[in-house]
A = this chain, B = another copy of it.
Amino acid sequence: MSNRLNRVNFLIPIQNRIQLVEDKMREQPDGHHPDLFMALEHLLSSGGKRVRPAVALLTGGMYGADPDRLVILGAAIELLHTATLVHDDLIDGALFRRGIATLNASWSPAATVLTGDYVFARAAKMAAETDSVEVMQLFADTLATIVSGELTQMFTSRGLISREDYYQRIYAKTASMFELATAASAVLSPVDEGTVRVAKQMGNDIGMAFQIVDDVLDFTGEQATVGKPVASDLRQGLVTLPAIYYSEAHPSDPELSALLNSQYYSEERLDRVVREIRKSGAIEQSMDEARHYINSALESLRLQPECTERFALEELAQYIVERSL
């Protein structure tokens, strides 16, 4: 998927600037511990699609922000994202992410905590380099939202959740960071407050769709493509939109609740539930939700005059819902 995304058209207008973001993320201040750079390099070379910086570069480009400040912003956003992943992996005990060993797999938990903190510090430093107090506040708010969401998830007992809880969770986990990318880009642009609000909504829409499709792919994707076992969320007791729609349509299905309520899942039961969810309308209902968000994002984009960046964002939005096909 990563390769395919790297080839898609919407990245062409910003290829050079994405490279500048990569360089910026790797900037090495003097006097810090050398192992920190090795760790940071390891984290950054684990790749990822740089979707968040792409969204920031394109949004800010569309609104007329200074390109250099957008590169700094893109790097700050991807570093913040990276820092939350480091602590996430530690919390989940994950040994791999995107097929590459996590820091957690080879470092002690203590070193991993500190490395995550260090990446936070680098992200904060870079956010401050945008020279905008408002951008700094957006960063701090986003971090608080993400962390609060993770704690809520940690303290929520396993089992079914409502759609409303699900939306709150994916907002905190994913959409808040896309919202940061678009809102901060708009803040750095010569636009009025109304446009900042539209930008923020657009980031939220793109992020919500992005996570819903990710959750659908967890059911429909092949392990080789998605890079993790099918239904990895359900295996961890994490209920996502397809399972919620399925349980709404089949409230008395004993298989799903047995799966969620037992300490250990049986592989056979998991297989049966996944097959049932795939056969049901739940996948299509979830994709309808994702398309709803993307359509809302496209409407926001149509408020802007036509330009390369707007077209690229439209493509990016379309790609998010089409990558599941």
**Residues of A within 8 Å of B, CB-based: how many?**
44
Q: Would B125 and A36 count as touching, CB distance under 8 A? A: no
Q: Residues of B contacting A155 with CB < 8 Å?
A: 33, 35, 111
Q: Would B125 and A144 count as touching, CB distance under 8 A? A: yes
Q: A132-B133, A136-B133 are in contact. Are A154 and B111 (CB under 8 A)?
A: yes
From A145-153, A184-192, A287-295, give the one contacting chain B.
A145-153
Q: Which of B31, B139, B151 contacts A114 (CB 8 A)?
A: B151
The docked-state distance in angstroms from the alpha carbon of A137 to that of B91 is 29
A224 within 8 A of B: no
Q: Would B128 and A136 count as touching, CB distance under 8 A? A: yes
Q: Residues of B contacting A148 with CB < 8 Å?
A: 31-33, 36, 118
A94-118: which residues lie under 8 A (CB-CB) from chain B?
109-111, 113-118
A219 within 8 A of B: no
Q: Would A113 and B125 count as touching, CB distance under 8 A? A: no
A120 within 8 A of B: yes
Q: Which of B32, B87, B124 contacts A113 (CB 8 A)?
A: B87
Q: A124-B140, A125-B140 are in contact. Are A109 and B111 (CB under 8 A)?
A: no
The docked-state distance in angstroms from the alpha carbon of A90 to that of B116 is 14
A62 within 8 A of B: no
The docked-state distance in angstroms from the alpha carbon of A90 to that of B318 is 44
Q: Would A151 and B33 count as touching, CB distance under 8 A? A: yes
Q: Would A131 and B133 count as touching, CB distance under 8 A? A: yes
Q: Would B31 and A118 count as touching, CB distance under 8 A? A: no
The docked-state distance in angstroms from the alpha carbon of A117 to that of B91 is 12
A141 within 8 A of B: yes
- Give 12 CB contacts A-B under 8 Å: A33-B148, A90-B110, A109-B109, A111-B151, A111-B155, A114-B147, A116-B117, A122-B144, A125-B144, A128-B133, A128-B137, A128-B140
Known contacts A36-B148, A125-B140, A127-B136; 7 additional CB pairs below 8 A are A33-B151, A91-B110, A111-B151, A111-B155, A121-B140, A121-B144, A131-B133
